[in-house]
Each structure stands twice: as structure tokens, then as C-alpha cells.
């Protein structure tokens, strides 16, 4: 099969000169055309939708210290999450909720109260795009909250003691395209949650 160069060489001088520049342009654009053809438009759209969490994915996460811990929750700020088939009761400290477009991570203090009244207080962040959480700090039945030595992302599971996190992500914390909802929207969604009431 004759090559493009051979075909061009067989042309008269006038036609050869006329075709030289368009041919060079087309050959130079060929790699870009092949790259565009191999791109996955659906994946590209997802990348754009998820640009906030993916942008910081490769950065070393900043560890929160004692100074970064919120205050120990007071009972009047607690709102109860309904978690089926759970012996413990779960609450959100609505005064602790933060959500920023900068890192796309809503954060809050949650409180688990056992049937015997013992409290486990945890300060956590939630990544809607990757459906995962990070525990920053903890406390028992009194304060203050202290940072965990290990602060790493873990998957949200809909089983055992972690079901409340799935409820938070699915119903309160996330917006369109898996972005974190604003603090105002999260609080508005939690309006129907009942305030803490001491059980006898």
C-alpha cells in the first residue's frame, strides 16, 4: 500500500506544495485526536463532580491535636439518631457540626450511650465522595476530648456499632454528586431529630 509521502511525491509540484502544510498540520494533531478518542467521558464527568475530595487525596492528612478538638458536648445540644436493633443510643452534638467546601468534609461530635449509661464521645469527619470516616478524638463519660494517635480513613459499614455513620451519610451529611452538604442544610435536615432526654 502506498504511503502518504509516496502519493504526495507523485503529484505535480504545484499540488505538492499546496498539500504540504495541511498534511503537516493533520499529522501533528493525530496524537491529540487519539488521546481524545481513548478518554472515557463518563469517568471524566465523575472526576469533575468529585474534584474537591480528589484534589487533596494525595496530600498527607493533617492530624488534629488537642487544640483542634471541640468542647465536650452538653445534653441540650444532643439530637437522637434512630438506629434499629441497637442496644446503645446514638446522638449528634448539633453545636459541633462543621462543613466546608474547602475540603468537602463535614465534622461533628457523636455520642453513644450504653444501656447502663456509659458514654463514648467521638469527634469524626465524613467523606461523602468515598463513603468513609475518620476518628479525630474521643472521650468517655466526661471531657475533654483527646486526639487519637492514629487518625486514618476507614470505610463506613452498615453493620454493628458503625450503622449510625451510614445513617448520617445517607440521610443528613451529603448533597448532590456526593458533595458534603452545608452546615445549614445538615441542621435543617436534623430538625426532626428528638432532643436528648435522660432515661430512667
Inform me whether the pLDDT recorded for 168 exceeds 90.
Answer: yes
In angstroms, the CA 144 to CA 112 distance is: 16
Domain assignments of the chain as residue spans, ordered by start? 4-38, 52-192
Highest mean pLDDT among 8-12, 35-39, 82-86, 165-169: 165-169
Query: What's the grid cell of residue 78?
Result: 444532643
The pLDDT-based confidence of 82 (bands split at 50, 70, 90) is very high
pLDDT, the chain, mean: 79
Inform me whether the pLDDT recorded for 133 exceeds 50.
Answer: yes
Distance from the first to the final alpha carbon of the chain: 91
Contact of 132 with 108, CB cutoff 8 Å: no
* Domain 52-192 class, CATH top level: mainly beta
Amino acid at each position: 500500500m502506498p504511503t502518504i509521502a509516496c502519493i504526495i511525491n507523485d503529484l505535480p509540484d504545484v499540488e505538492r506544495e499546496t498539500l504540504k502544510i495541511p498534511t503537516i498540520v493533520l499529522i501533528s494533531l493525530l496524537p491529540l485526536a487519539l488521546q481524545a478518542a481513548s478518554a472515557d467521558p463518563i469517568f471524566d464527568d465523575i472526576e469533575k463532580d468529585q474534584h474537591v475530595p480528589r484534589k487533596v487525596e494525595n496530600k498527607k492528612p493533617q492530624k488534629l491535636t488537642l487544640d483542634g478538638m471541640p468542647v465536650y458536648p452538653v445534653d441540650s445540644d444532643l439530637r437522637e439518631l434512630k438506629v434499629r436493633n441497637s442496644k446503645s443510643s446514638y446522638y449528634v452534638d448539633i453545636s459541633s457540626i462543621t462543613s466546608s467546601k474547602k475540603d468537602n468534609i463535614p465534622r461533628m461530635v457523636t455520642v453513644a450511650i450504653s444501656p447502663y449509661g456509659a458514654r463514648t464521645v467521638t469527634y469524626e469527619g465524613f467523606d461523602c465522595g468515598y463513603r468513609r470516616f475518620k476518628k479525630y478524638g474521643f472521650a468517655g463519660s466526661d471531657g475533654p476530648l483527646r486526639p487519637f494517635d492514629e487518625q486514618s480513613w476507614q470505610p463506613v459499614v452498615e453493620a454493628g456499632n458503625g450503622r449510625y455513620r451510614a445513617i448520617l451519610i445517607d440521610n443528613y451529611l451529603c448533597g448532590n454528586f456526593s458533595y458534603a452538604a452545608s452546615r445549614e442544610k445538615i441542621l435543617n435536615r436534623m430538625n426532626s431529630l428528638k432532643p436528648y432526654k435522660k432515661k430512667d
